[in-house]
């Protein structure tokens, strides 16, 4: 459960606030914008059994209905071998093993918030028609990896405006992603609910700036020509210990 900056203040939760908690501000490039749409509380419900996820969402919603509206709900699913709806495996370069905790969970850098995490979410809608019109070898240049077997291109092969070139901001700066594909053929709304956890929010901002503004400016991420961010918000996820203290 993530809590936004405004909600933290409104609920009068303890001070000082988590060091990097703020309201996410839009990041505007020449062509694409990472919009900021706000939100007070974000629940990330996971289950292999959909019934559990539904029951949990229904419980939370009925409990909170006197005081809160549910403004965005996305029901994602694991698509084949962890592919995004674009057909590429998503999550390969995520940190593994102990480094997941290192990159996702706050440690001594903010002792009052130890065990917590910054959560950033964006709902992306893909233009799958134009994506599927692109030959596979061109799609591979957009991602920077091969489609069928998920092999990274060499530095010489990888275009400078590919997603994996611009989202990579260095080996010391990583986040843990848990993106979920979603799709509705009737409304033709196909997308990716981008979800990431980070021990420092500045890392997420760095990635977004490289993607949307570009590096150098103007060399933006080509994945955005096929993907529109329609929401964007950041939250702080307290640890169970912190939640115990809040309830006290
Ligand atoms: C349109 C939504 C997005 C889609 C469909 C998408 C999909 C992908 C895919 C297929 C990969 C390659 C496999 C992998 O390593 O996971 C990847 C890599 C990555 N993505 Fe995304 N992504 C999206 C948005 C974002 C955003 C908004 C960020 C950061 C704020 C991000 C950060 C990363 C990072 C850090 C990598 C690994 C780069 C590397 O070190 O090679 N992605 N993404």
The minimum-distance atom of ligand 1 relative to the CA of 204 is: 30
Q: In the structure encoding, which two tokens stand for residue 181, read together?
A: 């594909």
C-alpha angle 211-204-202 in degrees, rounded to nearest 5: 120
Place of tokens 């134009």: 130
Domain boundaries, the chain: 2-247
- Which amino acids bring their CB within 6 angstroms of ligand 1? 84, 86, 88-93, 122, 124, 143, 145, 163-164, 167-168, 192, 194, 204, 207-208, 223, 227
pLDDT at 248: 72
- Are the C-beta atoms of residues 183 and 189 closer than 8 Å to each other? yes
Ligand 1 mean position, distance from CA 94 (Å): 9
The minimum-distance atom of ligand 1 relative to the CA of 229 is: 1
Is 90 assigned a catalytic role?
A: yes
The minimum-distance atom of ligand 1 relative to the CA of 89 is: 10
Rounded to the nearest 10 degrees, how much is the dihedral formed by the CA atoms of 94, 232, 105, 43?
-110
pLDDT digits (tens, 9 = 90+) for 160-185: 999 999 999 999 999 999 999 999 99
Ligand 1 mean position, distance from CA 118 (Å): 17
pLDDT digits (tens, 9 = 90+) for 224-238: 999 999 999 999 999
Pairwise CA distance, residues 191 & 3, whole Å? 24
Q: What is the pTM of this model?
A: 0.97
pLDDT digits (tens, 9 = 90+) for 22-69: 999 999 999 999 999 999 999 999 999 999 999 999 999 999 999 999
């Amino acid at each position: 459960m993530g809590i936004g900056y405004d909600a933290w203040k409104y609920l009068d939760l303890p001070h000082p606030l988590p060091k990097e908690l703020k309201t996410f501000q839009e990041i505007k490039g020449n062509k694409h914008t990472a919009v900021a749409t706000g939100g007070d509380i974000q629940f990330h419900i996971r289950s292999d059994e959909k019934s559990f996820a539904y029951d949990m969402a229904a419980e939370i919603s009925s409990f909170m209905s006197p005081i809160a509206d549910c403004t965005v709900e996305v029901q994602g699913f694991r698509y084949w071998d962890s592919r995004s709806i674009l057909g590429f495996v998503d999550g390969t370069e995520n940190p593994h093993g102990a480094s997941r905790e290192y990159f996702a969970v706050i440690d001594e850098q903010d002792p009052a918030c130890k065990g917590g995490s910054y959560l950033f979410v964006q709902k992306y809608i893909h233009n799958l028609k134009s994506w599927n019109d692109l030959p596979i070898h061109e799609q591979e240049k957009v991602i920077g990896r091969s489609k069928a077997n998920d092999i990274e291109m060499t530095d010489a092969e990888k275009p400078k405006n590919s997603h994996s070139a611009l989202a990579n901001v260095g080996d010391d700066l990583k986040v843990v992603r848990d993106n979920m594909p979603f799709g509705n053929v009737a409304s033709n709304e196909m997308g990716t609910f981008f979800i990431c956890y980070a021990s420092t929010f500045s890392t997420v901002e760095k990635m977004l700036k490289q993607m949307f503004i570009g590096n150098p400016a103007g060399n933006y991420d080509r994945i955005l020509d096929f993907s529109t961010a329609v929401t964007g918000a950041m939250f702080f996820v307290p640890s169970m210990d912190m939640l115990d203290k809040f309830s006290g």
